[in-house]
Amino acid sequence: MAEEKKKNIFDRAVDALTNRDEKAAAEKAAAEAAEAKALLEKAQAEAEKAKAEAEAAKKAALDAAKKAEEERARQGMLLQQQRLAEQKAAAEKAAAEKAAAEAAAAAAAAAVIKHVWTKDDTYASLALKHYGKFTEPYWRLIYEHNKGIIGNHPNDIRVGLEIEIPPLPEELK
């Protein structure tokens, strides 16, 4: 302090200005540090927010992928069920067609009339008796149906031979 008393006004003014400049620089540095700290905190907050958004987006993407996989699995099951239903329907249709064919065969077999050839029979008389007409297409139907039993010539038939009278086809009705 003794030294301070020896300073003149000019020296004291210089000291005051120097202190003031240093204080201003220190305040400016403190303000810049506070501003940098605020910017750092803001950047950290934004980074945390971005991290949270990224995690939320990742979770949403995983959820979407899981839902898509579940939907694919559900579609696969529906497709498999549809195929099974189609196979079942096809099997039922085939069974129904087979039953209808068997019924038709049984009806056709029932419609075939057995006849034992006598000495008074002719193809024309049998055609007239069973079909109501004695012309060639009718008696030839009887012969052609029994050709395996009779042979290659209509006159080769023997008395006592059992033949079949087939049902009349649509084109002759």
* pLDDT for residue 156: 87
pLDDT digits (tens, 9 = 90+) for 58-97: 999 999 999 999 999 999 999 999 999 999 999 999 999 9
Q: Which two tokens stand for residue 87?
A: 């196979």
Cβ atoms 127, 134 nearer than 8 A: yes
- 0.85 cut: is pTM over it? no
Which run of H or E residues covers position 101? Answer: helix 9-111
* pLDDT for residue 5: 59
* pLDDT for residue 84: 94
The mean pLDDT values, 10 residues at a time, for the chain of 173 residues are: 64 72 79 90 92 93 94 94 94 93 79 90 93 92 92 90 90 83
Q: Rounded to the nearest 5 degrees, what angle is found at the Cα of 99, between the Cα atoms of 148 and 108?
A: 35
> How far, rounded to the nearest angstrom, does the alpha carbon of residue 137 sit from its chain's CA centroid?
56
* pLDDT for residue 1: 46
